[in-house]
C-alpha cells in the first residue's frame, strides 16, 4: 500500500500503540533483483510491519539515464512483494526527515553499506544518527550482495540510445 507521509504517520502511530515493531528499508531499488528480495525478507523477520521508501527520481544520481525504472514503475513492482506492508516515495535527498517523522524501531541497509569507505556523502552516518535519535536500531542485513547499477551498466547497457 503506497502512502503519503500523513497516512504513514497515522498508521504507524496506531500500530505502535498495539506494540508492533516497525522497520524501514530505504533505497533507490532500481531494477529489482534477488538481493533486494532477500534484504526485504531478512528485514521482515525482525519486525511486524515493513516500510520500504524509495528515493524520488529527481534525487537519484547514479549515472546517465538513471533511474532506469521511474518512480511509478518502481513502486508498482515493490507493491507486489508480500513482505512489504507499506511503500513511501521519499521526495528528498535522504530518508533522514522520514526516519525522524515516523520513528521506526529498525532501519535496515544492505551489506553494501557495511564498509565505511562507501559513505562518501556522509549520509549514512546521518541516517544512523537519525535512527538512534528516535530510539531505533540500525541493522545491516546479511543477505546476498548484488548491484542494480552493475546489472544496468553491464547487462542492459544503454538501451536508450537511438
Q: Report the predicted TM-score, pTM, of the whole model to 2 decimal places.
A: 0.85
CA 38: distance to chain centroid? 13
pLDDT in tens, the chain (162 residues): 899 999 999 999 999 999 999 999 999 998 888 889 999 999 999 999 999 999 999 998 866 777 888 999 999 999 999 999 999 999 999 999 999 999 999 999 988 767 666 666 788 999 999 999 999 999 999 976 655 555 445 554 444 443
- Which is it for the CA torsion 135, 106, 61, 9, positive or negative? negative
CA angle 76, 136, 35 (to 5 degrees): 40
Beta bridge partners of 108: 25, 139
89 and 2 in contact (C-beta within 8 Å)? yes
What does the DSSP assignment read for 76-88? HHHTT-TT--EEE
Give the CA radius of gyration of the chain. 15
Cα(151)–Cα(147) distance, integer angstroms: 6
Amino acid at each position: 500500500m503506497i502512502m503519503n507521509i500523513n497516512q504513514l504517520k497515522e498508521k504507524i502511530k496506531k500500530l505502535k500503540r498495539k506494540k508492533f515493531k516497525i522497520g524501514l528499508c530505504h533505497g533507490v531499488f532500481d531494477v529489482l533483483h534477488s538481493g533486494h528480495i532477500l534484504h526485504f525478507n531478512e528485514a521482515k523477520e525482525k519486525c511486524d510491519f515493513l516500510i520500504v521508501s524509495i528515493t524520488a527520481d529527481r534525487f537519484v544520481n547514479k549515472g546517465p539515464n538513471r533511474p532506469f525504472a521511474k518512480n511509478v514503475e518502481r513502486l508498482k513492482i515493490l507493491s507486489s512483494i508480500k513482505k512489504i506492508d507499506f511503500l513511501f516515495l521519499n521526495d528528498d535527498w535522504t530518508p533522514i526527515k522520514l526516519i525522524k517523522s515516523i520513528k521506526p524501531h529498525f532501519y535496515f541497509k544492505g551489506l553494501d553499506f557495511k564498509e565505511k569507505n562507501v559513505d562518501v556523502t556522509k549520509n549514512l552516518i546521518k541516517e544512523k544518527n537519525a535512527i538512534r535519535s528516535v530510539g531505533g536500531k540500525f541493522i545491516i542485513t546479511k543477505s546476498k550482495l548484488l548491484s542494480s547499477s552493475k546489472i544496468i551498466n553491464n547487462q542492459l547497457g544503454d538501451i536508450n540510445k537511438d
